[in-house]
């Protein structure tokens, strides 16, 4: 089999490299010795997976935003917004594929965001166990995020929504109109085919989706600093 490999190095690789550099320069010889086995212990591939997932999550978010903007611009150009709202008509874009592209982007958003969180957690747990010899559970990981003051209210909804759209239904999409002229709108993702929007548990707003990805991004560097502090604790203990 003849294979051509592709060069796609993720941008957020610094998150992992900063930990590698810290271990390489550690004052603790046991830590430096363990770092030699970084690849053997599976941390090399897992670290790259973290960096790649971060990039994929950002790209999924950008892609969704681009598609929503494209749809909004077409509605604006049509000049038919008020008529559609007045008569309760569904808007049909010239290329209906954009609506399915948005559905795909919604699925991708939830898949990538949840996967990124899971891979990040898996990396931290393995790093603690293999590098620092401090076994850590998923519950303890959640406690660390809480102690760091990281917003975590998005975690369970992301998990639940990914499971919902991947196992039970497809996303139903609509636009919430905030202002008609000039048009200001945002995506609504329904968990079922809705006619009345009086129960917020039955739909997801674009704002909620934005807050989720902001929550993940806000957790990254505090978590990195926490790991670096744990490295320092091991170093101090080895000198005692």
pLDDT for res 29? 92
Among the listed residues 12, 104, 114, the one whose alpha carbon sits nearest the alpha carbon of residue 64: 104
pLDDT at res. 67: 97
Q: How far apart are CA 73 and CA 81, in angstroms?
A: 11
User: At residue 183, does pLDDT exceed 70?
Assistant: yes
Classify residue 175 by its DSSP letter: E
Whole-number Å distance between alpha carbons of 80 and 238:
71
Examine residue 74 and state whether it is found in any structural domain, yes or no.
yes
Distance CA(234)–CA(231), nearest Å, equals 5
Residue 3 belongs to a domain: no
Total domains, the chain = 1
Residue owning tokens 């909620």? 208
By percentage, how much of the chain surpasses pLDDT 90? 92
Peptide bond between residue 182 and the one before it cis (omega within 30 degrees of 0): yes
Q: What is the pLDDT of residues 111-161, one digit of tens each?
A: 999 999 999 999 999 999 999 999 999 999 999 999 999 999 999 999 999
Is 86 inside a domain boundary?
A: yes
Query: Quick check: is 24 in a domain?
Result: yes
Domain that holds residue 70: 12-239
If one counts every other C-beta atom within 10 angstroms of the C-beta of residue 215, the result is 19
Joined together, the tokens standing for residue 213 give 């990805």
Computed over every residue of the chain, the mean pLDDT equals 94
**132 part of a folded domain:** yes
Burial of 95 (0-12, 13-18, 19+ CB in 10 A): exposed
Residue 153 forms part of a structural domain: yes
CA 147, 153, 157, 158 torsion-angle sign: negative
Domain assignment present for residue 2? The answer is no
Instruction: Look at residue 57 in the predicted model and tell me its pLDDT.
Output: 95
Is residue 170's pLDDT more than 80? yes
State the burial class of residue 213 (Cβ atoms within 10 Å of its Cβ: 0-12, 13-18, 19+): buried
- Tokens (6 digits) for 98: 């954009």
Answer yes or no: is 5 within a domain: no
The answer on pLDDT for 240 being more than 70 is: no
Q: Kindly tell me if the per-residue pLDDT of 74 is higher than 80.
A: yes
């Amino acid at each position: 089999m003849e294979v051509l490999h592709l060069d796609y190095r993720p941008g957020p690789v610094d998150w992992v490299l900063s930990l590698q550099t810290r271990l390489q320069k550690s004052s603790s010889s046991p830590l430096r010795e363990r770092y030699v086995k970084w690849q053997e212990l599976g941390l090399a591939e897992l670290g790259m997976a973290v960096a790649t997932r971060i990039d994929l999550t950002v790209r999924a978010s950008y892609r969704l935003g681009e598609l929503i903007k494209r749809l909004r611009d077409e509605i604006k150009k049509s000049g038919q917004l008020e008529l559609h709202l007045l008569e309760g008509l569904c808007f049909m874009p010239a290329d209906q594929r954009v609506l399915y592209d948005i559905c795909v982007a919604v699925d991708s958003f939830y898949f990538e965001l949840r996967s990124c969180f899971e891979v990040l957690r898996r990396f931290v747990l393995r790093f603690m166990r293999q590098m620092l010899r401090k076994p850590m559970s998923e519950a303890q990981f959640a406690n660390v995020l809480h102690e760091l003051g990281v917003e975590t209210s998005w975690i369970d909804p992301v998990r639940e929504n990914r499971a919902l759209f991947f196992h039970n239904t497809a996303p139903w999409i609509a636009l919430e109109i905030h202002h008609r002229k000039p048009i200001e709108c945002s995506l609504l993702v329904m968990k079922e085919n809705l006619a009345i929007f009086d129960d917020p548990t039955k739909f997801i707003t674009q704002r909620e989706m934005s807050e989720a990805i902001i929550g993940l991004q806000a957790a990254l560097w505090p978590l990195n600093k926490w790991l670096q502090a744990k490295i320092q604790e091991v170093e101090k203990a080895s000198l005692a």
